[in-house]
Structure 1
Amino acid sequence: MLVERGETLAVAESLTGGLLAATIVEVAGVSAVFRGGLVVYATDLKASLAGVPEPLLASQGPVDPDVALALAEGTRRACRADWAIATTGVAGPEPQDDKPVGLVYVAVAGPGGRRVDELRLDGGRAAVRAGAVSHALELLAELLRSPAANNSRSERAGV
């Protein structure tokens, strides 16, 4: 869909630690649309590399829906991409800052809109990370199919 639209993608990953980007680059020809991404596992890198406001991180912590959206928006800017996907959450094995294992926020931001989903995933680290990646790609596809995303494309094309 991105190729057809002439649009690009970037990712910001925390709990998925590069798994999302690795999954994306398994697709032959993806270099036509995939710009790259940021693995911002450490909280301070979410601010310094992805542009998440430090006051937001200080007040909400890294596992938060607003932080996920800020990660996506900041990554769009940093990577000069049309769309960005961001993942943040707790993969385990222990809770983090009173957030339970399996709590994940996946955000997608692009010219056709932005959305963040809260997930409660079961299983160990691998299952939580894989579930986050799967949901992230499904969410991107859903937004790309949405009328708002398609209207945005028409406006940019001068239609």
Structure 2
Amino acid sequence: MSDPSTDTDYLQLEIYPGRLLNPDTAEALLNEIAELEGVIRFFVHGPRIPKTVPYGPATGETVNHPARRIIMVAGQEMDLEVSVGGIRLEVADADVKENVREICDRLLPFSYEFREGLFIPTTQTVTDYAKRGPDADPLLLGMTDPKGKLRNKPVCILKKKDSE
């Protein structure tokens, strides 16, 4: 992934598969996207997979869902708490956009939608302000999970280690 900056003139893309991605496919796709130079930030979204049954006769019992597991993305562990139904990303230019499309064509053996638009807020939202305060990192704008708890890690930051 590229070095982040506060410039907001980036292309925003959405990859919307025709079905939910299994964790192995999601891991492979995210790793290839993360390796591209020019990818600023990305996040996955989809239906939540709870750790425990929230209500009913089995309230509090552990949910053993095969899609809820830890995946490795850019050399960092990420607890996959959703079934991946879409990926939104911000890229530097149209060349990177085409590279992302090629990766999707190669790794997704089923139909998907590939859209360009405005999917990630570029200004601070009320939720951003409430969770991170007035001096929040510009790269975290719009990356807040409104239903996430502060004690959880609602955002997994993937940064390359400086080799210097």
Give TM class, smaller chain.
under 0.3
Larger RCO, structures 1/2 (Cα 8 Å, 6+ apart): 2
Q: Which has the larger radius of gyration?
A: 2
TM-score for the superposition, normalised by structure 2: 0.26
TM-score for the superposition, normalised by structure 1: 0.27
